[in-house]
């Protein structure tokens, strides 16, 4: 009986240590391309700036001593590519604004920028976890660098808290909402036609 009490005491100590120090978890972000509706393909040659800040974008969520890291950069790049290629007749990709300005065959520079991300986790197990992502798009005239269009897109994704794959469902919902809203905003922008 004394051995059992000693084991339980040691396990309790390990559990307390684990809870006190918290843990960091790198989450997997894998989303499928969103099915976008048919719309007008704008007769513009656009250059899409996929810079390092977008490639490296991650959301860090901290709660109860634990840290969850969501590396959204690759998914954001894929989303920007998909929307731009669906909206414009020709799209080239570059890693910086300087390289975009040097591409003299293009007439439009597109710059997506992740502004912020926020997650709300409910107290009750039957409520949804909600994720909000804000992305700002700037379109510049390539020749003179004047801003033609500036749009902030706020997207949300949610999933049931008690689902085993809540991250995957939440991220897919988030990027579906983001892709559809961005596509619609570009299609409706008279400044880009």
CATH of the domain at 36: 3.40.50.10610
Which pTM was predicted? 0.85
* Residues 112-154 pLDDT 10s: 999 999 999 877 767 888 999 999 999 999 999 999 999 999 9
**For residue 104, is it within any domain?**
yes
Contacts of 11 (CB under 8 A, 6+ apart): none
**For residue 10, is it within any domain?**
no
Give how many domains the chain has, as a whole number: 1
DSSP 8-class letter at 7: H
> What's the rounded Cα separation, in Å, for the pair 151 and 192?
12
**For residue 31, is it within any domain?**
yes
Residue 133 domain boundaries: 23-192
* Residues 33-42 pLDDT 10s: 999 999 999 9
> What's the rounded Cα separation, in Å, for the pair 148 and 141?
6
**For residue 17, is it within any domain?**
no
Other C-beta atoms lying within 10 Å of the C-beta of residue 27: 15
> What's the rounded Cα separation, in Å, for the pair 51 and 56?
9
């Amino acid at each position: 009986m004394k051995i059992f009490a000693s084991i339980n005491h040691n396990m309790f100590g390990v559990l307390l240590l684990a809870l006190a120090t918290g843990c960091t978890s790198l989450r997997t972000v894998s989303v499928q391309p969103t099915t976008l509706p048919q719309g007008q393909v704008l007769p513009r040659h656009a250059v899409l700036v996929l810079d390092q800040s977008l490639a490296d974008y991650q959301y860090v969520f901290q709660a109860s001593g634990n840290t969850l890291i969501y590396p959204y950069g690759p998914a954001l790049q894929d989303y920007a590519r998909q929307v731009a290629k669906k909206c414009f007749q020709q799209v080239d990709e570059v890693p910086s604004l300087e390289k975009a300005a040097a591409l003299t065959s293009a007439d439009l520079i597109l710059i997506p920028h992740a502004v912020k991300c926020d997650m709300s986790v409910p107290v009750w197990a039957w409520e949804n976890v909600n994720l909000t992502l804000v992305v700002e798009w700037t379109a510049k005239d390539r020749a003179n660098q004047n801003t033609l269009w500036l749009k902030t897109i706020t997207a949300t994704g949610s999933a049931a808290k008690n689902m085993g794959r809540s991250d995957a469902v939440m991220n897919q919902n988030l990027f579906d909402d983001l892709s559809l809203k961005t596509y619609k905003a570009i299609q409706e922008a008279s400044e880009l036609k």
